[in-house]
Amino acid sequence: MNALDIVICVIGGYCLIRGLFRGIIKEITSIVGVFIGFYGAYTYYPLVAVWFSSLIANKSYLSIISFFLIFTILLLAVGFVGVILKHIFKAAALGWADRILGGTFAMVKAVLIISVLLIALTTFLPANSPLMKHSRLAPHVSSTSEKLVAIVPEKMKQRFHDNIKALKESWKKL
């Protein structure tokens, strides 16, 4: 296991536990937040990168930081809407079903977050990056990333496909 595998495990475990405690209402808004965050991030990261270009010289890091900054801000904003909805629906008292369904939805959200992470890393890091190349878990989530990348701009999609092809070859050797 490398650092990426540990991050994948932490994201999955954290999302599951948090989903069990938060319930389905907050988890649904969180999943919506992931989609809105991803859409906003891949659409607007070049604009944010221009703002930070005087602070960060490395274009790969500049793109990754800009992408995840937008993703995080939008994810948190939609999460705030979820908090408001939870208070509105609290009177419904869904109880244990709310929590179990929340855990299920949280695992879906974890897969989406990990897929967004893999799309960004695969797109912006070199194809021979040891972080991606030596990951034991990334190959198992890459199929979801490949489906999700269908909605990104063509330039980003092409770079992702070029790099994922090279990574799949190196993953066969693990």
- The pTM assigned to this predicted structure is 0.66
Q: DSSP for 76-109, please give it.
A: HHHHHHHHHHHHHHGGG--HHHHHHHHHHHHHHH
For 39, the token pair is 């859409």
In this prediction, residue 155 carries a pLDDT of: 82
In this prediction, residue 26 carries a pLDDT of: 80
The tally of domains found in the chain comes to 1
pLDDT tens, residue by residue, 147-156: 888 888 888 8
Is 130:2 a contact under the CB 8 Å cutoff? yes
pLDDT range class, residue 93, cuts 50, 70, 90: low
pLDDT tens, residue by residue, 80-92: 988 887 777 776 6
Cα distance between residue 110 and residue 43, in whole Å: 22
Cα distance between residue 31 and residue 34, in whole Å: 5
Identify the residue with better confidence: 72 or 171: 72
pLDDT range class, residue 9, cuts 50, 70, 90: very high
Is 34:44 a contact under the CB 8 Å cutoff? no
Tell me the average pLDDT of the chain. 87
For 152, the token pair is 């990104």
In this prediction, residue 28 carries a pLDDT of: 87
Is 116:8 a contact under the CB 8 Å cutoff? no
Q: What does each C-alpha distance from 145 to 57, 64, 66 come to in angstroms?
A: 28, 16, 19
Structural domain of 109: 3-173
Identify the residue with better confidence: 4 or 91: 4
pLDDT tens, residue by residue, 39-55: 999 899 999 999 988 88
pLDDT range class, residue 170, cuts 50, 70, 90: confident
Cα distance between residue 16 and residue 148, in whole Å: 21
The SS3 assignment for 2 reads coil
The SS3 assignment for 171 reads helix
